[in-house]
Amino acid sequence: MTIEAAAESIRAKVGDSSGLGATVKFDCGDDGSVFVDGASTPNTVSTDGGDADCTVSLDLETLNELIAGDLDPTAAFMQGKIRVDGDMSVAMKLSSIL
């Protein structure tokens, strides 16, 4: 799955109101990033970069596994598959989206 397809899948899950109340960037390195603005109404999801309240660094394969529900976000963090920078409380809310 491409970064654009991942963004579209996240957009479908987030909808107009995620309850996130913050911005999150999924940084997949050279593959690109997905930026979720859960602080605006309606929520927006794009492949544009930007500063976020919380940045989740991971590879595209791991992001796809999270989106598909094949990987638990907490387990991914504990296994070192993802790194979280910024507001950890925002990262904890992501399990309701993914």
Q: Which two tokens stand for residue 26?
A: 């999924």
pLDDT mean across residues, the chain: 90
The predicted model scores a pTM of: 0.90
Who has greater pLDDT, 15 or 63?
63
Contact 25, 55 (CB under 8 A): yes
d(C-alpha 32, C-alpha 50), whole Å: 12
Q: CATH number of the domain at 3-88, please? A: 3.30.1050.10
pLDDT tens by residue, 33-63? 999 998 887 889 999 878 999 999 999 999 9
Confidence label for 94 from pLDDT (cuts 50, 70 and 90):
confident
> pLDDT at residue 18 above 70?
no
What pLDDT was estimated at residue 39?
A: 86
Q: Which two tokens stand for residue 52?
A: 């976020």
Residue that is written with structure tokens 């796809």 in the block: 64
Contact 86, 23 (CB under 8 A): no
